[in-house]
A and B are shown apart, each in its own frame.
Chain A
Amino acid sequence: GAGVSQTPSNKVTEKGKYVELRCDPISGHTALYWYRQSLGQGPEFLIYFQGTGAADDSGLPNDRFFAVRPEGSVSTLKIQRTERGDSAVYLCASSLTGGDLRGYTFGSGTRLTVV
């Protein structure tokens, strides 16, 4: 596609529920990143995929968070037992390769609200 697509754009869920957030990167981009942006803050790194593998998941806050990219394209961020503190905008970005910082393209994000 022309850009990075994230769905849904908004998600409201109840505390304790499970949610999945989807990211469709730009076609051909091998590197994919997830960031979390809390209100009034800059994005914070969560996880980096190179192809199908998670090359760096050091930013995942705890074991309730998990992400996959089984075919090296679409990625899903999964959050179990959601808490109110998980409310944030979850941003996905992709680039042609891991070293292609100038070609970094962000999606518009998924706004997650846990009530």
Chain B
Amino acid sequence: GENVEQHPSTLSVQEGDSAVIKCTYSDSASNYFPWYKQELGKGPQLIIDIRSNVGEKKDQRIAVTLNKTAKHFSLHITETQPEDSAVYFCAASKRGGTSYGKLTFGQGTILTVHP
């Protein structure tokens, strides 16, 4: 089955700096890679996603890059703000055809943005 590794486990940055979180996956058939933000006491919330036919996607201060050959993808947050502090998870899945939404998650990164 799929295995997703995520690094670092904790990340501390100053407000305004950039933050980068990296993930690798094992199953070359995975074709959908979402990123989730989880705040204390809440469920994960989708913040950005990328499909395997795209190398990069950006949404305001958040961007995701994907390297299919190396089987790794990264989350980039620019101009970090204290409200970005949360746990971030990457995930992988197969999308399309008869596939359904079973997600395999990474271990999570605790991001702390200091004012």
Chain A residues within CB distance 8 Å of chain B: 4, 31, 33, 35, 40-45, 48, 50, 55-56, 91, 93, 95, 98-102, 104, 106-109
Contacts and interface: CB of A to CB of B under 8 A. Distances in A.
Contacts of A40: 107-108
B46 A91 contact: no
Listed from nearest, the 3 A-B pairs whose CB atoms lie closest are A106-B43, A42-B105, A98-B100
Interface string B81-115: 00000000101010110011111111110000000
A106 B71 CA distance: 26
Contacts, number: 69
Q: How large is the interface on B (under 10, 10 to 19, 20 to 34, 35 or more residues)?
A: 20 to 34
Contacts of A50: 100
Given A40-B107, A45-B102, 19 more contacts: A31-B100, A31-B101, A33-B102, A33-B103, A41-B107, A42-B6, A42-B91, A48-B100, A48-B101, A48-B102, A55-B100, A98-B101, A99-B95, A99-B100, A101-B101, A104-B34, A104-B46, A104-B103, A106-B45
